[in-house]
Structures are given as structure tokens and as C-alpha cells.
Amino acid sequence: MKYINIDKYNSSIFIDQNYNSFSMIGDDAISFLDRMSTNNIFKINSSRTAITDNKGSIIDILTYKVINEKKIIFVSDIKTDRSIEYMKKYIIIDDVEIKHNGNLNKIVIYSKKSENSIDLENFSLISTYEYKEFMRYELFSSDDEFKKFNKTDYKHISIDEKNTLDIQMRYIGIKESMIKANPLELGLLDIISFDKGCYVGQEVIARLHNYKKVSRELVPFSTKSELEINSKIIIDSKNIGNVLSIHKKADGFLGLSLIKKRFSYLLTEEIIKI
């Protein structure tokens, strides 16, 4: 099966529009999001953070920015109100209100670290992801910011190329239909602050990390078999994991899977670890 040569996609761009933007407003906005999510909102004022349940499983990933001491803006990976409704259940006596702001455009840029020249200050929200010598940027912009951004400096790629690049870079976006996974299993250490106070799911995530009890890992794979998101991967009558994302190619399928570490050796010619 043919894979994309990532080096050829330096300074590439993919544009995805109509992302719902939200604001969290009130005297307790920062402290509330801090105790709901994995990142340290007090220290890191612009990044991604995971919303987890009391078992440490991811409900959503937010890209956020602290505007001031009483306002945070953010977008949701799953593009539904599920995590909004979940967080609202924890607002009891807090001075916090969550509002829908409108839509933003999402610009995804792939660039070598050594050749980055993006002015990140020109965007409402940003998140970054590193893979070897490459960077993946998600830049969320208003219509005015979008018009001012010089998109002709980049090579525009198709959704097919974007999906393949993301799989090869081990980048996973959270989908509402995805099986439950915790941030450690997906390798999202960069959005977990281990020195912050308690948050929903913190005890489970800290225990898994400190005692090295993470039993599953993110594995990119290729296969000739037609699989779907959440499909079980069965080898030698053993359920070794589940499909998290899948992308059809002309000569088969590429995907990301969540595999039980003790069974990773079972990956065969049918399902090949990339």
C-alpha cells in the first residue's frame, strides 16, 4: 500500500469551515474550566485541553484561549453540544455562563519546524501538534481574519491527503461516536498538566501515569479489510483493540487503532502496523 511522503507536504493547507465557537464568561470561568479539564488553564492561556469523565475517558477536546480573567473562548473537536451540556451539569454555584459565539473557519497547516513562518497572533484560536520534524497547526479564524490570511502561500490539499497525513502523523481528532479512551492511551501527554489541582477524571489519569498502567496504545495500520470506526480488531480469536479512524485508499485502508499492548505482537500481514 502506498503512503504519502510527508516531506512533499511541507507548507500545505486544508480549509474546513463552519466550526461552532463558544465563550465561557463569568468571575469563575478560568477556575471552572481548570477543574473540568486536563490542562492548566491558569498557566497555559492558549492550547488544547481534554474534558474527561470521572473514569478518565475523553468526552471532548477543546481548543481554547483565555481572553481575560472573566472570559475564555473555545471550539469543540466533536462539533456538537455534548460536552457543553456535560460541563453545565457541574455549574452549581459558580459564576459561569457558556454561550454560542458563532462560526469560525479552521485552517490546518502542515509545515517543517525549521521553515515555520506563521504569525499565530493573527488568529482567534490556535493549537499545535508535533510529529518528528513536522508541525501540524490548527488555526481558527473569524471571516475577517480568514480574508486577510494569505492562503496563496500554501499548497492546498484534498481531504484525502489531509486524512492520510493525519494518520501517518499519529494525529487523532475526537469524534462523538468514538469508543471511550483516556488521553494517555492516545498519547496526548502535551495537553495534560500533572502538577495542577484536581479535575474530573484526574485521579484515574494520575494513577495510570504514575504506576505505568496504561494498557492500550495508539497504532497506525494499513489493511485490505474494510473496517469501520469502533470495529473490533480480531486476530487469532482475540479482540486486540478497536478502530478509531479509517480512511479508504485506492489499494486498501489506512487507519488509527487503539490496541492492547499485550497483543500488539499479533498484528499480521492482514493488519499491518505502519
Q: Give the pLDDT confidence of 133-146 residue by residue, as tens digits.
A: 999 999 999 999 89
Query: What is the chain's mean pLDDT, rounded?
Result: 91
Does the pTM exceed 0.95?
no
Q: What is the DSSP string of 134-195?
A: EEEEEEEE-HHHHHHS-GGGSEE--HHHHHHHHHHTT-----TTSPP--TTTTT-GGG--TT
H or E segment at 21? strand 12-25
For residue range 5-47, list pLDDT tens digits in order.
888 999 999 999 888 999 999 999 999 999 999 999 999 999 9
Residue 236 banded pLDDT, cuts 50, 70, 90 = confident
Residue 202 has which C-alpha cell?
Answer: 484526574
Closest CA to 55 of 185, 174, 193, 244: 185
Over residues 105-118, the mean pLDDT reads: 86
Interacting residues of 9 by C-beta distance below 8 A, sequence separation 6+? 110, 155, 157, 161, 165
**What sign does the dihedral 164-170-171-176 (CA atoms) show?**
positive
Three-state secondary-structure class, residue 32? helix
In single-letter form, the type of residue at position 251 comes to D
Q: What is the pLDDT, as a whole number, of residue 154?
A: 93
> What residues have CB less than 8 Å from 165, skipping those under 6 apart?
4, 6, 9, 12, 110, 136, 157
Backbone dihedral region for residue 269 (phi beyond 0: left; psi -120 to 50: alpha; all else: beta): alpha
DSSP-derived pairing of the beta strands 155-156 and 12-25: parallel
- Cα separation, 272 vs 112, whole angstroms: 27
User: Residue 14's beta-bridge partner residues?
Assistant: 108
